């Protein structure tokens, strides 16, 4: 009986000690286990001001400084909106409006002339959240065509308006207009005159495709893309290039990417460049690990960037094979800002929440995180 009693006392004491330990230890364990810090929301933006035969030896230091300053101003405007928690749509519109107002670029003010000596403007915009889109072509008096494209997206039952109808819609919405002299610049007029006098093609006088564009990812994970252009010098018969064509010059889908293109529009339309790249990327989003060896651990984020770059370069190679040239800017759904072009240069820039902020003109100028097509 004594042994049994001692055993019961010992057992009771053990239970008591266990309870006391749990009572005092539990709070300490909870205090010691700190919650993992939440990662900061990511944002990124990329812009372009055209691609083409842009070589350092053909450009003065003053011209380089002018273009870099204009690109930086537009990039900073969009980046500031994103850093403050603004939407990707607001960021790209702000950046593009500045470039439309800058006569250095072939969009809005500074647009090239048609054969008849007029400025005809095209633009498109797309929201990656719901794939809503708006586009306009052949407008002549709208100060900022990208804003008209957005009105079509948000306040009309349509996606694409052109010519007089688009102008009428703009007037009904109260968008700012400008007289012909606002858009006209002497340098563009001389290009048209040289083209006519020497029986040149548009490619002979347009050493670059000055289309402007912007793509962005905001802190809520939403993508947006926009593109604006004056087209090609001496264009005739109401010619429309890829810039206002959703899927060719502009595309955005939260599941994959936002993209804006610049280049020889006829080829970008035939390849469907913007949609083609985003669609290929979307098909791989859920299966990036499939391409990795089963017995190796990989950095999925770095792998995803490489795959996005490979896809963009591959599609741009298709454009080149057909005879076209130009470039694209791309922001992935994970916030990577990339470029791809098959020309000597492209006016471009990018900024991210991780501290990247750079503009470039000639091939091979970016830091290692950004790359171009293998030819440059």
The catalytic site residues sit at: 211
Whole-angstrom Cα distance, residue 233 to residue 98?
22
> Among 333, 78, 135, 338, which Cα is nearest to 249's?
135
CB hemisphere CA count around 341 (13 angstroms): 33
Residue 274 near residue 330, CB atoms below 8 Å:
no
DSSP 297-329: ---HHHHHHHHHHHHHHHHHHHHHHHT--EEEE
The Cα diameter of the chain in Å comes to 123
First vs last C-alpha separation in the chain: 94
Residue 92 near residue 217, CB atoms below 8 Å:
no
Question: Cα 192 to the chain's mean position, in Å?
Answer: 30
Assign 253 to helix, strand or coil. Answer: strand
Give the chain's length: 376
With left for phi above 0 and alpha for psi between -120 and 50, is residue 335 left, alpha or beta? left
Residue 349 near residue 289, CB atoms below 8 Å:
no
Whole-angstrom Cα distance, residue 159 to residue 133?
6
């Amino acid at each position: 009986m004594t042994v049994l009693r001692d055993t019961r006392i010992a057992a009771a004491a053990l239970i008591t000690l266990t309870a006391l330990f749990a009572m005092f230890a539990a709070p300490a364990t909870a205090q010691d286990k700190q919650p993992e810090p939440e990662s900061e929301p990511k944002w990124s933006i990329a812009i372009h001001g055209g691609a083409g035969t842009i070589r350092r030896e053909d450009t003065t230091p003053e011209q380089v400084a002018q273009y870099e300053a204009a690109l930086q101003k537009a990039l900073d405007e969009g980046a500031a909106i994103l850093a403050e928690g603004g939407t990707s749509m607001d960021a790209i519109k702000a950046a593009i409006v500045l470039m439309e107002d800058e006569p250095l670029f072939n969009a809005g003010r500074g647009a090239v002339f048609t054969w008849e000596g007029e400025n005809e403007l095209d633009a498109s915009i797309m929201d990656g959240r719901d794939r809503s889109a708006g586009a306009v072509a052949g407008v002549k008096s709208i100060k900022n065509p990208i804003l008209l494209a957005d009105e079509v997206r948000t306040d009309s039952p349509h996606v694409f308006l052109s010519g007089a109808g688009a102008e009428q819609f703009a007037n009904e919405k109260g968008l700012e207009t400008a007289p012909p002299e606002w858009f006209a610049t002497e340098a563009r007029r001389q290009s048209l005159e040289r083209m006519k006098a020497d029986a040149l093609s548009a490619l002979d006088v347009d050493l670059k495709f000055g289309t402007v564009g912007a793509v962005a990812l905001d802190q809520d994970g939403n993508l947006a893309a926009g593109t604006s252009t004056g087209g090609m010098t001496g264009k005739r018969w109401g010619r429309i290039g890829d810039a206002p064509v959703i899927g060719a010059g502009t595309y955005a889908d939260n599941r994959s990417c936002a993209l804006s293109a610049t280049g020889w529009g006829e080829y970008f339309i035939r390849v469907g460049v913007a949609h083609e790249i985003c669609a290929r990327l979307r098909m791989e989003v859920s299966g990036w690990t499939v391409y990795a060896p089963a017995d190796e651990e990989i950095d999925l984020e770095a792998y995803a960037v490489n795959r996005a770059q490979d896809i963009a370069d591959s599609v741009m190679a298709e454009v080149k094979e057909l005879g076209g040239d130009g470039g694209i800017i791309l922001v992935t759904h994970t916030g990577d800002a990339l470029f791809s072009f098959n020309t000597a240069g492209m006016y471009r820039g990018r900024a991210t929440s991780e501290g990247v902020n750079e503009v470039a003109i000639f091939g091979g100028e970016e830091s290692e995180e950004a790359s171009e097509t293998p030819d440059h």
